[in-house]
């Protein structure tokens, strides 16, 4: 037995203390944004069937939940509204109507939790009778004609107290148009986290259940990106960078870790990744069946997204992660 192995990587894995020293990537509640759903009514806390542990809250129960969530150290939420069919129309007029559920909720939340960063979604789909992110005419999803609606929505959300706006429709010219509208109204401090690279993905299914917002016809392939492409991601990210985005997002996260890495290598803005509803649902379903250790799978998943290069992760696991750390 004279064989000598001078370089032994296992030495750096021999104890928990040494493993902690050698750990390259970290994950903290500071990195997370918690997406949450609001619905009309009071006393409502209805679980999204395909997203165990995630609820549509009415404002009163949402405020109770936010007390818990902020006490756990979560510093940012991304709020999405669920509107009933009768509130939806072709022009998504409900999205900027004074007194509407979503805007009132933002105001109340900002008032009660002034230190919580509030992120919003700027897209037509939750308010659109067509279930598309843009204005539909003769079966076509229009690009420029949607801009004015989005600008009204954006300014109304800023006025209601939003800190970070998330234009999520993946169409052209959004960030620049919204930036100009915000600045013209004096909201120069309101940030934009652009859904820069958002793919036409099967993994949004549970989210569309949560909001009843699935497209009424066709799919979103003329605006969301082809999952086969990564060079195109650089074009999208570059445009949003030029147009003034403060954060660049990749969505979904897990099937697109290479895209996260590519963006992180090419842009100096903070990169965010959206660990979407279907990614959450897969782990939850397997854990409920006893097929996976849910906590470990969650931690490994979130760490992989950070390791790929995302500084920020939007994730339905945020509260569970925070509870594990507490
Ligand atoms: C739509 C929007 C979607 C999500 C966030 N904003 C759905 C879609 O593009 O169809 C998905 C989030 C998730 O699946 O968790 N503007």
Reduced to 3 states, what is the DSSP secondary structure of residue 270?
coil
| pLDDT at 72 (0 to 100) | 98
| pLDDT at 3 (0 to 100) | 87
| pLDDT at 60 (0 to 100) | 98
Contact partners, residue 163, CB within 8 Å, separation at least 6: 76, 117, 118, 119, 190, 191
Among 125, 249, 251, name the best residue to mutate to test ligand 1's pocket (greatest count of ligand atoms within 8 A of Cβ).
125
pTM here?
A: 0.96
Pocket-forming residues, ligand 1, beta carbon under 6 Å: 121, 123, 125, 133, 168, 204, 207-208, 220, 276-277
Q: Using the mean position of ligand 1's atoms as its centre, give its distance from the Cα of residue 131 in Å.
A: 11
- Using CA positions, which residue lies closest to atom 11 of ligand 1? 204
Q: What is the pLDDT along the chain (326 residues), one digit of tens a residue?
A: 678 999 999 999 999 999 999 999 999 999 999 999 999 999 999 999 999 999 999 999 999 999 999 999 999 999 999 999 999 999 999 999 999 999 999 999 999 999 999 999 999 999 999 999 999 999 999 999 999 999 999 999 999 999 999 999 999 999 999 999 999 999 999 999 999 999 999 999 999 888 888 888 889 999 999 999 999 999 999 999 999 999 999 999 999 999 999 999 999 999 999 999 999 999 999 999 999 999 999 999 999 999 999 999 999 999 999 999 98
Among 53, 77, 123, name the best residue to mutate to test ligand 1's pocket (greatest count of ligand atoms within 8 A of Cβ).
123
Q: Are 143 and 116 in contact (CB under 8 A)?
A: no
The answer to whether residue 251 is catalytic is yes
DSSP sequence for 88-111: -BTT-GGGG-TT-HHHHHHHHHHH
| pLDDT at 278 (0 to 100) | 98
DSSP sequence for 36-89: EEEESSSS-EEE-TTSTT-EEE-HHHHHHHHHHHHHTT--EEEEEEE--GGG-B
| pLDDT at 214 (0 to 100) | 86
User: What is the chain's Cα-based Rg?
Assistant: 21
Among 207, 211, 219, name the best residue to mutate to test ligand 1's pocket (greatest count of ligand atoms within 8 A of Cβ).
207
- Which atom of ligand 1 has the smallest separation from the CA of 215? 10
Residue 148 and residue 32: Cα distance in Å, rounded? 31
| Residue tagged 């107290």 (tokens) | 161
- Using CA positions, which residue lies closest to atom 10 of ligand 1? 204
| pLDDT at 254 (0 to 100) | 98
| Dihedral sign of CA atoms 31, 228, 168, 316 in order | negative
Reduced to 3 states, what is the DSSP secondary structure of residue 181?
helix
Reduced to 3 states, what is the DSSP secondary structure of residue 163?
coil
| pLDDT at 2 (0 to 100) | 78
The answer to whether residue 198 is catalytic is yes
């Amino acid at each position: 037995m004279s064989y000598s192995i001078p370089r032994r990587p296992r030495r750096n894995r021999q104890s928990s203390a040494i493993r902690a020293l050698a750990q390259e990537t970290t994950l903290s509640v500071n990195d997370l944004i918690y997406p949450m759903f609001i619905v009309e009514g009071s006393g409502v806390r209805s679980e999204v069937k395909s997203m165990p542990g995630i609820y549509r809250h009415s404002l009163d129960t949402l405020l109770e939940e936010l007390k818990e969530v902020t006490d756990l150290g979560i510093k940012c939420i991304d709020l999405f509204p669920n509107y009933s069919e009768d509130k939806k129309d072709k022009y998504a007029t409900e999205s900027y109507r004074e007194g509407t559920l979503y805007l009132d909720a933002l105001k109340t939340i900002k008032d009660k939790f002034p230190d919580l960063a509030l992120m919003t979604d700027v897209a037509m789909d939750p308010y659109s009778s067509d279930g598309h992110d843009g204005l539909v005419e003769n079966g076509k999803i229009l690009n420029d004609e949607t801009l004015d609606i989005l600008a009204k929505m954006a300014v109304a959300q800023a006025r209601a107290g939003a800190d970070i706006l998330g234009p999520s429709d993946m169409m052209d010219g959004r960030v620049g148009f919204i930036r100009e509208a915000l600045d013209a109204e004096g909201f120069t401090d309101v940030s934009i986290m652009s859904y820069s690279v958002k793919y036409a993905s099967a993994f949004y299914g549970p989210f569309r259940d949560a909001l009843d917002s699935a497209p009424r016809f066709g799919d979103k392939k003329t605006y969301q990106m082809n999952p086969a492409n990564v060079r195109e991601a650089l074009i999208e990210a570059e445009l949003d960078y030029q147009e003034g985005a403060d954060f660049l997002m990749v969505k979904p996260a897990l099937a697109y870790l290479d895209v996260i890495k590519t963006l992180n290598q090419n842009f100096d803005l903070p990169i965010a990744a959206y660990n979407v509803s279907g990614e959450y649902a897969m782990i939850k379903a397997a854990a409920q069946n006893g097929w996976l250790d849910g906590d470990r799978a969650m931690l490994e998943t979130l760490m992989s997204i950070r390791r790929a290069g995302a500084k920020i992760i939007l994730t339905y696991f945020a509260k569970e992660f925070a509870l594990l750390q507490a």
